[in-house]
Structure 1
């Protein structure tokens, strides 16, 4: 019923004239903002990459801000640009500590008119689009994933192009598929994912690059590995085991993993991920040789992660109850990513390897009396 109601809302929006061009739903052509002016070339978009300071600091909007990365990104950006210059948004009610930490708005990425209002009323110049259903959650609800991950993207691309925003949309290791090179996966290779999440992210990469070449949109994208963060709940991703293992190890000394012991995947600590996101957004346009980059930090299997946990918690036990759906997804993803282009073009460098990651996560979850600091 939620999906039907959402689609009915879209149809009513068209009928009520909320969207200037409803035929775009079938044609896919973003003509409503073009007017009679000639298209921008990438060279015309160079003003997007000017350095910001003082009164010229960017005005930032983050969609899907209550997911795994939004709050942390907002905190990082507010330290850099000022609290009032960064607006967090979502369709969920924020907890008190988020609501009172800085500006928060209700924003549904399926509501094009509302997105435009937010951008205009708040003079937004940078947009971070995090609204999406992740891999496992998307497979459980394909119609909703298609609506949020694809239709929401259409709206964000059009708003960003219309108002000349600098736009960041994350991609993922899920954008690769079983026919992609796995060890490592390069920036450019065959991409034939088999999840709605992965398909929507390949579409995101291609549409962002198209809008860059066709309309001069300053689109920037990173393919995230599995992201491990201490202060957020797993959000329906295949790599969630690498988040959940730490609180379970502290609370009970046991963890049941839903992937095979040998399922090696690329991973990154959230602090590195957020820093990489800000760095690529802040990079001069002339330093970027592509619109979508791989980034990587470490690569490990559940067994290797458990062995590192055992160094701190000798009585820890891991068992395996493999979920065939999740395992099939993991088997279609790269074991590691080649991020040499990011390191060369804009100086990407990670800080956290596996030992630092495990120590940080265990200490966060309260094992301060049992966890030794990494040497």
Structure 2
């Protein structure tokens, strides 16, 4: 990767991915794009882009001289259930456009999939890399279709497509963006601000999670991996930990003993969570490109509370 174009650059992952890529490859070598420019402090190349506008996407990529496309623009799980038609048009239309532009300009390509690509009939524990995928959400349908499309573009056109199945991602930088796993971000804010949190996910509901620094490093490591060693290329299972709400609360209480957790379950997001695995098996990613993580639950909690305290006091 030398010149990288990123869609959805102001989103939950994109906003931190831009900083990571610019630190690795240089500010002027990373073009950030999004549908609007917010007050987020993004320095360096930035362009407005609606990912459903193929012509503009092509023009921006060509003019920038991009050799890599990272397509991060998407509507997340809970939001997608509220507006399924919009989710289909945005998630699938944007992906198709970015794949086509990457094919036309012979770019390397990355897009993330998700544990949302699994469904209630998928094995719940140590979910393998290759298994039954019958999701019951629009977001999940989008992700499965996206995995297949990326494989298709690799086999049909030789496009260097790569991707991972992200679990819930936890970050102190970006606010929650409408995902089912976002409780595991919001709980840290509430712990510092109110010393209590009411979870919309039921106690005992396990889901896979990763701390954002590990997720960003995984993207870079996969994109830099030797292509001859990638048998799967797309939708690699990656994870760092699996926990349920009371466990993250217990980790927080080690730093804030007065913290309390309560429950008021949201049936929509709970149904989504129940359809996903309790834990997934990342052994294929480990074997094919050396995937690894640095953060477990307690190490992540300590860092989240420290960084959020600084952020909130500022």
Query: What TM-score results when the alignment is normalised by the length of structure 1?
Result: 0.81
Who is 2:231 aligned against?
289
Who is 1:201 aligned against?
143
Deviations 1:134-159 (A, max 9, x none): 00000011111011111111111111
Who is 2:290 aligned against?
347
Unaligned stretches of 5+ residues in structure 1: 1-56, 369-375
Distance (Å, rounded) in 2 between the aligned partners of 1:219 and 1:76: 20
Matched, 1:315 2:235: no
Who is 2:243 aligned against?
300
Unaligned stretches of 5+ residues in structure 2: none
Who is 1:371 aligned against?
none
Equivalenced residues, count: 310
| Higher Rg of the two aligned structures | 1
Residue 289 of structure 1 and its aligned partner are, at CA, apart by 1.2
Residues 114 and 165 of structure 2 are in contact (CA less than 8 Å); yes or no, is this contact kept in structure 1?
Answer: yes
Q: Would the alpha carbon gap of residues 361 and 107 (structure 1) be closer, same or farther in structure 2, given more than 3 Å must change?
A: same
Distance (Å, rounded) in 2 between the aligned partners of 1:90 and 1:257: 31
Q: Would the alpha carbon gap of residues 104 and 208 (structure 1) be closer, same or farther in structure 2, given more than 3 Å must change?
A: same
Distance (Å, rounded) in 1 between the aligned partners of 2:154 and 2:100: 12
Distance (Å, rounded) in 1 between the aligned partners of 2:87 and 2:40: 28
**Aligned runs of 1:33-44 on 2, under 5 Å?**
none
Distance (Å, rounded) in 2 between the aligned partners of 1:335 and 1:239: 12
Q: Which runs of 4+ in 1 moved over 6 A?
A: none
Distance (Å, rounded) in 1 between the aligned partners of 2:177 and 2:224: 28
Residue 75 of structure 1 and its aligned partner are, at CA, apart by 1.1
Among 363, 371, 375, the residue aligned to 2:306: 363
Query: What TM-score results when the alignment is normalised by the length of structure 2?
Result: 0.97
**Aligned runs of 1:1-375 on 2, under 5 Å?**
58-95=2-39, 97-98=41-42, 101-292=43-234, 293-366=236-309
Deviations 1:256-309 (A, max 9, x none): 100101110000000000000010011111111112210110010001111111
Residue 95 of structure 1 and its aligned partner are, at CA, apart by 2.1
Residues 198 and 262 of structure 2 are in contact (CA less than 8 Å); yes or no, is this contact kept in structure 1?
Answer: yes
Distance (Å, rounded) in 1 between the aligned partners of 2:124 and 2:105: 39
Residues 6 and 31 of structure 2 are in contact (CA less than 8 Å); yes or no, is this contact kept in structure 1?
Answer: yes
Residues 208 and 239 of structure 2 are in contact (CA less than 8 Å); yes or no, is this contact kept in structure 1?
Answer: yes
Residues 108 and 161 of structure 2 are in contact (CA less than 8 Å); yes or no, is this contact kept in structure 1?
Answer: yes
Distance (Å, rounded) in 2 between the aligned partners of 1:63 and 1:96: 15
Residues 250 and 367 of structure 1 are in contact (CA less than 8 Å); yes or no, is this contact kept in structure 2?
Answer: no
Distance (Å, rounded) in 1 between the aligned partners of 2:309 and 2:55: 45
Distance (Å, rounded) in 2 between the aligned partners of 1:149 and 1:129: 10
Deviations 1:24-54 (A, max 9, x none): xxxxxxxxxxxxxxxxxxxxxxxxxxxxxxx
Distance (Å, rounded) in 1 between the aligned partners of 2:253 and 2:115: 28
Residues 81 and 138 of structure 2 are in contact (CA less than 8 Å); yes or no, is this contact kept in structure 1?
Answer: yes
Residues 59 and 125 of structure 1 are in contact (CA less than 8 Å); yes or no, is this contact kept in structure 2?
Answer: yes
Q: Kindly report the root-mean-square deviation, in angstroms, between the aligned alpha carbons of the 2 structures.
A: 1.2
Residues 161 and 215 of structure 1 are in contact (CA less than 8 Å); yes or no, is this contact kept in structure 2?
Answer: yes
Residue 77 of structure 1 and its aligned partner are, at CA, apart by 1.0
Distance (Å, rounded) in 2 between the aligned partners of 1:110 and 1:331: 32
Distance (Å, rounded) in 2 between the aligned partners of 1:225 and 1:154: 23
